[in-house]
Amino acid sequence: MSTVDKKTAPPVGELLKDSPKNWGKWGADDEVGSLNYLTPELIVKAASSIKSGKVFTLQVKMANPEGDPVWPGRSGAIRVNVMDEGHWIANKGLHFEGGLHYADDYMTCFPQGSTQYDALGHVWFDGQIWNGYDAKTTIGGLSKASIMPIAERGVVGRGILLDIARWRKKAVLEPGETFTHEDLKACAAAQGTEIKPRDILVVRTGWIAKYYKVSHAEFYENFIEPGLTYSPALVKWFNEMEIPNLVTDTIANEVTVDPVSGVALPLHNALMRNLRITLTEIAWLDDLATDCAADRQYTFLYVAAPLKIVNGAGAPVNPVVIK
Ligand code: UVW
């Protein structure tokens, strides 16, 4: 929970005035930022994390009749059948020589209303997005730093699960419960592993699993997610560790409101806009976490590619983990 009055929260630009920026680091035209850390050599090395060939997929179910967990203001995907056997029963099916029948769907969705990658240009302040591009480049669709460059590149590297919920001996963290990079390191140590430079951080809080266990009214009441919390030291650590991608089982990857400053989602700007660390939200981590707790293998090959939505601010994804 915020400990400061909303009215006293400083502008995010003031909070982050001394925060490091990687603008220009990969050239004036760069649109993938920290994914540049995932070099072919690193990917070959990351493949050696595969020990048993066990595969886990990290997308939550989409267009789920039970509901899709989404950021307040968004709604879950809606899928409808537009062709099925009923059409042939009612003599309305198309005729194909040989007797082929088929099913077809139509779906509407918020592309960021499922497990998803944020585009680099998804958030900003003071009129500039990642790399200093003008925020006006977002008007009518992102002409800079959209999801496309990430989708075309793909994300492959060594992933490490940091099971904060299990480490804190909880099924799920409390609303607004925070943790820091020091907690990530301590959690890794308790798991018998170590966060290495350029690791893809996969952080579990138990929050998304809670969505399926309680009523939607309870889940969204006084909505404040648990998560990482802003500090200059945390941002410095992410930058020095050259973290390319932060994946979590929450909707926004960080505590909803920074309890110290009262600023909403400051890490979105500190990590994504300024450092260009890619954010992956709403990941399903419970099956992976159960397996890691059983075999004590917390590192793996992580592979993901969001959908190629032209000028998109984000896109759904079904990341794959191979242990
Ligand atoms: C917002 O930042 C509002 O959304 P997301 O959680 O998709 O990044």
**Best of 68, 116, 122, 208 for a ligand 1 pocket test (most atoms within 8 Å of beta carbon):** 122
State in Å: Cα 71 to ligand 1 middle: 7
**Residues β-bridged to residue 279:** 246
Structure tokens at 25: 């680091």
What domains appear along the chain, each with residue ranges and CATH number? 26-70+111-322 (3.50.30.50), 78-107 (no CATH)
Structure tokens at 164: 């904060």
Q: What is the DSSP letter of 153?
A: H
For helices 181-190 and 232-240, what crossing angle results, to 10°?
60
Taking the C-alpha atoms of residue 295 and residue 6, their distance in angstroms, rounded to an integer, is 45
Distance of CA 314 to the CA centre of its chain: 10
SS3 for 251-264, per residue?
CCCCCCECCCCCCE
- Average confidence (pLDDT) over 142-159: 97
> What share of the chain in percent tops pLDDT 90?
96
Q: What is the DSSP letter of 131?
A: G
Residue 253 CA: nearest ligand 1 atom is 6
Q: Minimal CA–CA distance to 194: which of 151, 241, 244?
A: 241
C-alpha angle with apex 149: 148 to 150, nearest 5 degrees?
90
- Average confidence (pLDDT) over 294-306: 98
Answer whether residue 1 shows pLDDT above 60: no
Tens of pLDDT, residues 202-228: 999 999 999 999 999 999 999 999 999
Tens of pLDDT, residues 42-95: 999 999 999 999 999 999 999 999 999 999 999 999 999 999 999 999 999 999
State in Å: Cα 279 to ligand 1 middle: 9
Q: Indicate whether residue 264 lines ligand 1 (CB < 6 A).
A: no
pLDDT number for residue 8: 86
State in Å: Cα 252 to ligand 1 middle: 5
Taking the C-alpha atoms of residue 28 and residue 32, their distance in angstroms, rounded to an integer, is 12
Q: What is the enclosing helix (H) or strand (E) of 216?
A: helix 216-220
- Average confidence (pLDDT) over 307-315: 98
Q: Indicate whether residue 148 lines ligand 1 (CB < 6 A).
A: no
Q: Minimal CA–CA distance to 23: which of 274, 279, 278?
A: 274
Report the Cα–Cα distance between both ends of the chain, in Å, rounded.
37
Determine which residue's CA is closest to atom 1 belonging to ligand 1.
Answer: 252
Taking the C-alpha atoms of residue 264 and residue 124, their distance in angstroms, rounded to an integer, is 12
Are the C-beta atoms of 189 and 160 separated by less than 8 Å?
Answer: no
- pTM here is 0.96
Q: Indicate whether residue 273 lines ligand 1 (CB < 6 A).
A: no
Please report the DSSP string for 23-60 in residue order.
Answer: TTTT-TT-SSGGGGG--HHHHHHHGGG-SS--EEE-BP
Assign 2 a pLDDT band (cuts: 50, 70, 90): very low
